[in-house]
Amino acid sequence: MRLQSLYRGACLLRNTATLRVQPQQRYLSHGLLQYSREVSQALQNDIPVVALESTIITHGIPFPQNIQMATEVEDVIRNNGAVPATMAIMEGKIQVGLDGDQLESLTKEGTSAVKTSRRDMAWVLSQGFTGGLTVAGTMIAAHKAGIQVFVTGGIGGVHRGAETSLDISADLTELGRTPITVVSSGVKSILDIERTLEYLETEGVCVAAYGPSTHFPSFFTPRSGHHAPHSVNSPAEAARMIYTSLQLQLDSGVLIAVPIPEDDSVSHLEIEQDIQNAIIEAEHKNIKGKEVTPYLLKRVHEMTQGDSLRANMALIRNNADIGSKIAIELAKLQNQSSGHQRPTQQPRSAGSLHPAPSGGEQGRPVVIGGTIVDFTITATDPNLKEDGGSYPGHMRQSFGGVGRNIADGLARLGSNPFFISAIGTDGHAESMLNYCSHMDCSGIAQHETYSTATYCAILRHSGELMYGVGDMEIHSTITPKYIARYEAKLCQAPIVLIDGNIPESSMEYVCNVCDRNQVPVWFDPTDLHKAEKPFHSDAFTKIMYTSPNINELRHMRRGLMGGTGEIETGQTDDLPLNTLLEESVEICRQLIEYIPNILVTLGKHGILLCRNSSQDNPFPYKGKIVPNHSRILKTTTSKCKSEGALTAMYCPAYAQGQQQVPLVSVSGAGDSMVAAIVYSLLRDIPAADCIKYGLLAATLSLQSHHAIIPSMHQKLQEHNIKDMCWRDSHLEI
């Protein structure tokens, strides 16, 4: 995405001073779900996540033991290689994973928080209250968040005397309709275990004891005297059962009952007597409904002088250990199977909304990058100050993202690119897809848990950029795993273009795939802060083309040198042309050994093309034979030097006699240039003429509020490059 200082005469200048605002600890991803950064990154990278309930923190275990238990359980899960996601309702959102401050706040809130099950969720959320999620509430939240394994102490069940009170926990019905695996020490021993097992059978819930026998545990003790219908003896065996259940799409849950370790258990006879006494007390005090379980647990804790609490904390730690190992084994099965996709985590393709245009699938250029909704605010008051006041101005919405713009330009020119990107499911996404109806959007992932990327530029009356604010979190979901779905398209493409918005791991993956298949890669840095990304791996050695501005070029050199050294950045249009050319050539001299074609955009001055071969050579693409070379100039690191000698050609922004255009917006000028150059090189147009088509496309873009003008193809056809003369100069090196 490029939004720059706007001033008369500008051309091909990109933003050098944007402010990217990133949340520090967590971010609102979509709707009522708010993910912690740790959980978000885990889900993006397919690291197993284990859900944890919060009622046990607010109503089950008193402070300060509750915070000790919560942190120990999370540590157990992390130590096994999974990520914990304690779930609660806070500030009107379902928090999927809590940071340290949130966890401490919740533990101190205690019973002041609302005990929240399915029936309570809408009310608690709408009121903005804090809610401790029960087993049922956590199952709902985990399923919506894309988490498949949930660890707790014990689930609710059929209460003793339910034949007259009809007191049956919502946990049981939730297990019957939500495909989540719950790992617990069975049901709480204060309940009627036999009737609970009967009810679970009626609900169609798969119940398995963990271990060599089918003995069903009794929470504080390893055996209740009742049996589960099945047993699993290891995390791998449990994972296979869960995996098969998900394949069947039964839409019901799995309960894995883990017995408390013998060393941590308490006497069955003693605990049973205490439970009976506590039940009698509750009846005498007329304690009913959702208040019964917390009261009974509290009284049993007091009667056992803390033994029950110590056992409770021990069994939860043990369940977390086994549950996280099951989650890891389940993830292995899902990652090994190309045919199985987790329905709650896989983004849906936008292609169902806009099918691909007609045209062959072979040899289509591929573009991978950002899709952004741009907002430009221009103050009409020339005396704008940063004093907190309100000023009149104009706001305009447009659609951008470097990757999207380039794909848009190629589509309008008739090259039918395949575009890989990511958007949300919000209103911005719908508007974006409608605007891009002429493009093939089948490679755009739609995520329910992320907002479509947005960027807002604040401009002075003169058009000078004050600062920009962007929400770009969704770009982190353009992962190697997602791109790998379309690996065949990368292998067949004549050229692949990537922008600086995508993750470094994705850049490395794309460059490796293309290098193996002799497909040239074009890297557009997008922003000076992203220009160094390819240099954090060996991806830069497999890039054929790049199109930085001078500030991005400086950062690329710093990336080549290991990321050290200070860089002077800022506006460069006031610098003499010769100064810019000398600096650019000197930097390109260092980069050209690895990147054979460097197109440096010089703002109002035009463009500098540096190559490691003759300027007369055509631009290579897959299958294009270059003189004196049996294949494209550079396909492997070992061949990166190719011809080796640097050549440079400078082209001014305008042809001789061409009038300087009235400036409307520079947003998209550079992207238009790249699209036109790629379109031209794929038609075997000489390299110098490709550059001129690119400059002409940029000039057309400057006259429109659209990043890519809809009439781009028609406008370019109206000009005959052969009849236009640029004062291009072959520089002496």
Closest CA to 70 of 327, 326, 320, 324: 320
Contact 260, 217 (CB under 8 A): yes
Distance CA 11, CA 695 (A): 9
Coil/strand/helix, residue 222: strand
Contact 206, 252 (CB under 8 A): yes
Distance CA 239, CA 513 (A): 32
Closest CA to 725 of 652, 638, 619, 618: 652
> What CA–CA distances, in Å, run from 301 to 114, 305, 308, 730?
22, 6, 5, 86
Distance CA 139, CA 150 (A): 7
**Backbone phi, then psi, for 606, in 5-degree steps?**
120, -130
Q: What is the largest CA-CA distance in the chain?
A: 100
Tokens coding 99: 């940071």
| Alpha-carbon 624 to chain mean position | 36
Distance CA 366, CA 325 (A): 39
Closest CA to 591 of 521, 522, 528, 540: 540
Residue 57 DSSP symbol: I
Closest CA to 100 of 80, 78, 129, 71: 71
Distance CA 713, CA 107 (A): 62
Coil/strand/helix, residue 588: helix
Distance CA 155, CA 219 (A): 9
Residue in this structure with the two tokens 């699993």, named with its chain if needed: 232
Which run of H or E residues covers position 452? none
By annotation, the residues acting in catalysis are: 53, 188
| CA-only gyration radius of the chain, Å | 31
Distance CA 25, CA 34 (A): 11
**In the sheet that 393-400 helps form, which strands lie side by side, from edge to edge?**
19-20, 465-471, 453-459, 372-379, 393-400
Return the exposure string of 82-104: e unless at least 16 CB atoms fall within 10 Å of the residue's CB, then b: bbbbbbbbbeebbbbbbbeebbb
529 contact partners, CB below 8 Å, separation of at least 6: 20, 555
Tokens coding 260: 């408390």
Query: Pairing between strand 131-133 and 83-90?
Result: antiparallel
Contact 232, 261 (CB under 8 A): no
Instruction: Give the dihedral of Cα atoms 340, 345, 348, 349; nearest 10 deg.
Output: -80
463: alpha, beta or left? (left if phi > 0; alpha if psi -120 to 50): left
Q: How many CB atoms lie within 10 A of CB 654?
A: 20
Contact 617, 687 (CB under 8 A): yes
Distance CA 34, CA 26 (A): 8
Cα first-last separation, the chain: 33
Tokens coding 696: 């002409």
Contact 642, 629 (CB under 8 A): yes
Tell whether the torsion through CA atoms of 384, 390, 393 and 394 is positive or negative: positive
Tokens coding 450: 């992320």
Coil/strand/helix, residue 468: strand
